[in-house]
Amino acid sequence: MARKYLGGSGERLTVWISIAASTVLIFYGYDQGVFGNVIINENFLETFGHPSADTQGTMTSIYNIGCFIGAMSTIVTGDMLGRPRQILLGSTVIAVGAVIQTASYGVSQMYVGRIVMANCITGFSISNWLTLGFAFAPKDVAWRFPLARFQIFFTACIWCLCPFLPDFPRLLIRKGKHEEALDVIAALEGHGATPDSPSVKTQYAIIKDVLDREHLNSFSWWQLITGRGPAGVLRRMILGAWMQIMNQISGINVTSYYMSYIFINALGISEILSRVLAACGSVDYLIFACLAYFVIERYGRRKVMMCSAAACAICWVVGDKPKAQGLRDL
Do 22 and 160 belong together in one domain?
Answer: yes
Burial bucket for residue 126 (CB in 10 Å: 0-12, 13-18, 19+): buried
Cα-based distances in Å from 257 to 39, 190, 254, 290: 10, 43, 6, 21
Do 19 and 148 belong together in one domain?
Answer: yes
pTM: 0.70
Report the number of distinct structural domains present in the chain: 2
What crossing angle do the helices spanning 83-102 and 150-161 adopt, rounded to 10°?
A: 160
pLDDT for res 205: 92
Q: What is the pLDDT of residues 215-268, one digit of tens each?
A: 777 777 787 777 777 777 788 888 888 887 887 777 777 777 777 888 888 778
**Which amino acid belongs to residue 268?**
G
Whichever domain contains 77, its CATH number is 1.20.1250.20
Do 110 and 57 belong together in one domain?
Answer: yes
Q: How far apart are CA 24 and CA 22, in angstroms?
A: 5
Residue 183 domain boundaries: 169-218
Domain for residue 31, yes or no?
A: yes
Q: Which long-range contacts (CB under 8 A, 24 or more apart) does 193-201 make?
A: 193/2, 193/10, 194/1, 194/2, 195/2
Domain for residue 282, yes or no?
A: no
| Three-state DSSP class for residue 3 | coil
pLDDT for res 315: 76
Burial bucket for residue 37 (CB in 10 Å: 0-12, 13-18, 19+): buried
Q: How far apart are CA 212 and CA 189, in angstroms?
A: 23
Q: What is the pLDDT of residues 28-76, one digit of tens each?
A: 777 777 777 788 888 888 888 888 888 887 877 777 777 788 888 887 8
Q: Which of 81, 184, 193, 102 is nearest to 148 (CA)?
A: 102
Q: What is the pLDDT of residues 279-326, one digit of tens each?
A: 887 787 778 777 887 888 888 888 888 888 888 788 777 766 555 454
**Which amino acid belongs to residue 298?**
R
Burial bucket for residue 90 (CB in 10 Å: 0-12, 13-18, 19+): buried
